[in-house]
């Protein structure tokens, strides 16, 4: 019996030392010390020993073995659980060091970038910057621009009306042209100003149209201004903004607030034409609405879409992409 205990004890020690996981150790614990374990079986055999002395001696050896193996299992358990903790820490660790660096610097939206570059180019050409309100009177937005209530051109703008004052008297401006009138009222000619801003039209949005977009208006009023000055200014701007390999042309068109009126297109280096905006000589009625004597002064005006320019410059396929604020889109510019 005593020899059996020694053999089992030695074997068990070896198996405990080799256990490589807590699970394996738990199985061993049951095998060795459990009710049906080899030591328990020996223990139940104690009663069959002949003498009290033999029982005592075997019992002592057995108890020592049980205590020693219990201690061995516990100490192996500690070793293994520390090891498993290390593994787990390693496995689940998150690298937080990137949050310790300075935050990544953001940048302006591509429409803001285009807006700022446009201002820079026009300032370089001697223009000043002005802005007007987004909520505008019907008078500034339409009437002063030679579009009386009955004028067919008014229906070209599907307008958002604002519930303010008498019905139909307040609108979200449909273009930046009303700022021409405000500038004429606040500035004595000569006037060389550009007026960027947000405009609103009741449009169904699609890949080339938005209900909220941006325009930049230009107004020049001086003595002896002619259509040649308009064409020359547009061309100088085109080359300064897009590059010297770009060109421009005017195509006859119609706007109630300019006479004559034109669309202006830019020629890209591959020879294709891109429609950019409208322009023309300021209509005498508009000068009068702005408090300027058309006999003494003349001028030209132009207006075009900023979003459209950003779209073309960066080859964006769908204008709506520019306003969904998807970080994967925004980060490209
Ligand atoms: N306001 C016009 C538009 O929104 C553009 C334009 C501006 C045309 C100035 C002529 C002169 O389409």
> Rg of the chain's alpha carbons, rounded to an integer?
43
Residue 162 alpha carbon to ligand 1 centre in Å? 22
Examine residue 76 and say whether the peptide bond preceding it is cis (omega within 30 degrees of 0).
Answer: no
Q: Which residues pair with 171 in a beta bridge?
A: 136, 161
Q: What is the pLDDT of residue 153?
A: 67
Rounded CA separation 151/156 (Å): 10
Q: Is 279 in the pocket of ligand 1 (CB under 6 A)?
A: yes
Taking only the tens place, the pLDDT of each residue in 299-310 is 999 999 999 889
Q: What is the pLDDT of residue 28?
A: 85
Ligand 1 atom closest to the Cα of residue 180 is 9
Nearest protein Cα to ligand 1, atom 4: 175
What is the pairing mode between strands 258-267 and 273-282? Answer: antiparallel
Q: What is the pLDDT of residue 68?
A: 87
Q: Is 177 in the pocket of ligand 1 (CB under 6 A)?
A: yes
Structure-token match 């459990």, residue found: 34
Residue 277 alpha carbon to ligand 1 centre in Å? 7
Ligand 1 atom closest to the Cα of residue 199 is 4
Helices (H), 93-174: 97-100, 110-124, 138-141
| DSSP letters spanning 68-137 | HHHHHHHHHHHHHHHHHHHHHHHHH----HHHHSPPPP----HHHHHHHHHHHHHHHTT-EE----SEEE
Nearest protein Cα to ligand 1, atom 9: 302
Q: Is 280 in the pocket of ligand 1 (CB under 6 A)?
A: yes
Residue 333 alpha carbon to ligand 1 centre in Å? 29
Residue 90 alpha carbon to ligand 1 centre in Å? 65
Q: Is 173 in the pocket of ligand 1 (CB under 6 A)?
A: no
Q: Is 302 in the pocket of ligand 1 (CB under 6 A)?
A: yes
Q: Is 301 in the pocket of ligand 1 (CB under 6 A)?
A: yes
Give the torsion through C-alpha atoms of 115, 121, 127, 133, to 10 deg. 0
Walk along the chain (333 residues) in steps of 10 and give the mean pLDDT of each run: 83 87 86 82 81 84 87 88 88 76 82 95 97 97 92 74 91 96 97 98 89 97 97 95 93 97 93 93 98 98 94 89 89 87
Q: What is the pLDDT of residue 188?
A: 96
Structure-token match 């042209």, residue found: 177
Residue 20 alpha carbon to ligand 1 centre in Å? 81
Q: Is 255 in the pocket of ligand 1 (CB under 6 A)?
A: yes
Residue 238 alpha carbon to ligand 1 centre in Å? 17
- Among 117, 257, 291, which Cα is nearest to 177's? 257
Mutate which of 155, 171, 172, 175 for ligand 1 pocket (most atoms within 8 A of beta carbon): 175
Q: What is the pLDDT of residue 277?
A: 94
Ligand 1 atom closest to the Cα of residue 303 is 7
Mutate which of 231, 303, 306 for ligand 1 pocket (most atoms within 8 A of beta carbon): 303
Ligand 1 atom closest to the Cα of residue 277 is 5
Q: Is 195 in the pocket of ligand 1 (CB under 6 A)?
A: no
Burial pattern 125-162, b for ≥16 Cβ within 10 A else e, equals eebeebebeeebbbebbbbbbbbeeeeeebeebebbee
Q: What is the pLDDT of residue 156?
A: 60
Nearest protein Cα to ligand 1, atom 12: 278
């Amino acid at each position: 019996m005593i020899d059996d205990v020694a053999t089992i004890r030695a074997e068990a020690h070896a198996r405990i030392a080799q256990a490589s996981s807590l699970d394996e150790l738990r199985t061993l614990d049951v095998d060795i010390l459990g009710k049906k374990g080899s030591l328990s079986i020996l223990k139940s055999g104690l009663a069959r020993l002949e003498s009290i002395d033999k029982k005592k001696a075997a019992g002592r050896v057995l108890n020592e073995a049980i205590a020693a193996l219990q201690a061995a299992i516990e100490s192996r358990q500690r070793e293994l659980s520390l090891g498993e903790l290390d593994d787990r820490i390693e496995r689940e660790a998150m690298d937080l060091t990137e949050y310790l660096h300075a935050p990544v610097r953001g940048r302006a939206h591509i429409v803001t970038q285009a807006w700022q570059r446009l201002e820079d180019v026009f300032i370089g050409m001697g223009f000043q910057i002005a802005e007007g309100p987004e909520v505008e009177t019907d008078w500034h937005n339409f009437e002063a621009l030679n579009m009386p209530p009955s004028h067919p051109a008014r229906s070209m703008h599907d307008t958002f009306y604002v519930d303010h004052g008498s019905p139909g008297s307040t609108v979200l401006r449909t273009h930046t042209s009303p700022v021409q009138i405000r500038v004429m009222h606040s500035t004595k000619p000569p006037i060389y100003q550009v007026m960027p801003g947000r405009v609103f039209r009741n449009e169904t949005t699609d890949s080339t149209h938005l209900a909220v977009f941006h325009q930049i208006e230009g107004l020049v009023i001086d003595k002896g201004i002619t259509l040649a000055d308009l064409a020359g200014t547009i061309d100088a701007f085109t080359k300064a903004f897009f590059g010297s390999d770009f060109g421009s042309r005017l195509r006859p068109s119609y706007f109630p607030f300019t006479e004559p009126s034109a669309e202006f297109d830019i020629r890209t280096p591959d020879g294709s034409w891109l429609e950019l905006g409208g322009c023309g000589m300021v209509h005498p009625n508009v000068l009068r609405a702005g408090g300027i004597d058309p006999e003494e002064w003349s001028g030209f005006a132009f207006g075009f879409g900023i979003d459209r320019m950003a779209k073309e410059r960066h080859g964006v396929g769908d204008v709506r992409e520019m306003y969904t604020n998807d970080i994967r889109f925004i980060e490209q510019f």
